[in-house]
Structure 1
Amino acid sequence: MLVIDTVRLEPAWRGYGLGTLCVGMMIERLAAGRRLVVLRAAPAERRTAKGKVVDEISAAERDLAVAKLGRLWSQLGFEHFKDEVWVLDLGLATFTKAMDLVRSRVGLSR
């Protein structure tokens, strides 16, 4: 099992599909011989919806961030398991297909 602990992309680079691409490429590189990839879809830092770094965020802002991260990870084929835990089954073809789509979105091919 491969466990992804933290993923952080500088705010200026967000929104271009690079985070998804980089994590997907990391999974391709590190997951050889593994069946599952697990991560927790939760914000690594506290930012308001407007992007300001703060000591604490509201429950609503955290829920919004968790939902956005869930949508992001589902683009790679991750499925919601429980609470904030998401699982990717590498035994399925979904990851390969998802990576082809992620690459095409950023103008890359395999």
Structure 2
Amino acid sequence: MSGTHIVIIDRARIAPAWRDLGGIGRLLIGRMLRWVAGRAALVATHPYPIDIPVDEREDRTREAREKASTQRTWQSLGFEPFREDLWVMQPHLSAHDDAVERLETAFGRYL
């Protein structure tokens, strides 16, 4: 393990115009993490769909569907479930870099 710091991601919001474009939001998050967490020992987050209005969170089916989608996004960036709803990524392992490189290759003609 390299690094001595832990980065905690409180929120990551992608503007609606950048969503559902085949991974461009993930690429933006992945690149940001390279910049912010490159020397961290661990990155932690609680993947939750923050865009569900509070008064609509009682719709458990919608919440579960959107939560699963949010978790798949973080998993595709090298995060893994750790405990309860806490997910972690170790930047010194190749999972994150490999994920970002795949996204860069996929979007290479546009970058």
- Shorter-normalised TM-score: what interval? 0.7 to 0.9
Q: CA offset at residue 106 of structure 1?
A: 2.3
1:43 aligned partner: 49
- 2:34 match: secondary structure: helix
Q: Against the structure 1 CA distance between its residues 19 and 10, is the aligned structure 2 distance closer, same or farther, given a 3 Å change threshold?
A: same
State the aligned residue count. Answer: 104
| Runs of 4+ off more than 4 Å | none
Q: CA offset at residue 54 of structure 1?
A: 7.0
Q: Structure 1 regions of 5+ residues with no counterpart?
A: 47-52
Mapped pair 1:32 → 2:25: no
Q: Against the structure 1 CA distance between its residues 67 and 103, is the aligned structure 2 distance closer, same or farther, given a 3 Å change threshold?
A: same
Alignment of 1:12-31 (within 5 A): 12-16=17-21, 17-31=23-37
Q: CA offset at residue 109 of structure 1?
A: 9.3
Larger proportion of helix: 2
Q: CA offset at residue 41 of structure 1?
A: 0.6
Percent identical? 31
2:13 aligned partner: 8
